[in-house]
Amino acid sequence: MDLRDTEAEAAFRRGLREWLGKTLPELPPAPDPADWPGRRAYDTAWQRRLYDAGYAGVHWPVEAGGKGASPAEYLIFLEETERAGAPYVGANFVGLLHAGPTIAAEGTPEQRRRYLPRILSGAEVWCQGFSEPGAGSDLASLRTRAERDGDEYVVSGSKVWTSHAEVADWCELLVRTDPDAPKHRGISWLILAMDAPGVTVRPLRTLTGTTEFAELFLDEVRVPVANRVGAENDGWRVTMVTLSFERGTAFAGEVVACRRSLAELARLAQRNGAWGDPGLRRGIGLLAARFGALWRLVQWNVSEAQGGGVPGPGASVFKLRFSEARQELYDLAAEVLGAGALVLDETGSESWTAQRLQGLSYTIAAGTSQIQRTIVAQRVLGLPKGRGA
């Protein structure tokens, strides 16, 4: 297998590097991590720059507003933007990496025309309303109700860990539309306007002091039936499409970031004397191999999703191993930093410490590691379900 760039891919890489080299110095300073309104403005302005330059949604199908780039070109885009230190998707995360691909794959032509261009251009921000206080890891046990009233649903209930709700325009929302059906068969996937009457957002403060998550309360909120993606009560299948993108391709850029962070950690260990520990060197070497293997899984999943496709159940293999490897990386960083790993605002340790605290959620977010192991066992390895499953 020849993994070198073709002439066309090399030209794409050169053009992207040139554009990044000219554009990044023009960006204003990044806002405070706790300032989510400021971060929304910063992130959407960056997304607009990508859009105007033709780099927004490079891997999305042309009919969805993207460029229809090959998997190799999309991976080049991830590599070059990360290596250049370009802004991450930030507040655009749910729209670009979850809701947008789901609408592209499952939405009506009208839904694709209405929502996708505004996601790609950064004009609108989305949040994710999946988890509920009483459901835990069993997402299908959700209780938020949507009762049909003519051409509208009347929605009541609550969500928790709603990503970016504080600054979002729209929400990808899971609701129960048939309370009498088996729990996986009575769910629908709706597009909720966050400014609709009856919507209340209560931000949740994380360990690092930011409010990227929130509680979401819905009190008889009216949602047009036209805002349903997929058929009524077919929302669990649509949700599996969303989660396949979330677990299979949404973290792709973070693998590049972790490989870069691991190299930085090795240099830090060499400077502060920790490199003399053979156990530390073995740990860094092992993680380098793991992230290399994860990058190959990224390549597989991106190729599987080419042209509007959906990553398969192997996405759970990637999500499981990446979330754990990322935690191992920042645990190793704590060994190198020593006492500095306990301080958030000390120069040289802030990013490592904050990333370690943030990483504690990775084995929970997007499906716990226990859930991923069950999916891998049953859908990848073909093992039988256990008793009571």
Give catalytic residues, as residue numbers: 246
- Is residue 287 exposed (0-12), middle (13-18) or buried (19+ Cβ within 10 Å)? buried
Which residue do the tokens 């999309």 mark? 74
Give the CA distances from residue 143 to residues 177, 186, 229, 280, in Å, rounded to whole numbers and listed in that order: 10, 11, 19, 47
- Cβ pair 221, 154 in contact under 8 A: yes
Q: What are phi and psi of 16, to 5 degrees?
A: -65, -45
Q: What are phi and psi of 183, to 5 degrees?
A: -60, -30
DSSP string, 40-83: HHHHHHHHHHHHHHT-TTTTS-GGGTS----HHHHHHHHHHHHH
Strand, helix or coil for residue 33: coil
The span from the CA of 228 to the CA of 215, in Å, is 22
Pairing of strands 187-193, 228-229: antiparallel
Which residue do the tokens 């890489």 mark? 13
- Cβ pair 13, 5 in contact under 8 A: yes
Strand, helix or coil for residue 222: strand
The span from the CA of 4 to the CA of 321, in Å, is 26
- Cβ pair 242, 102 in contact under 8 A: yes
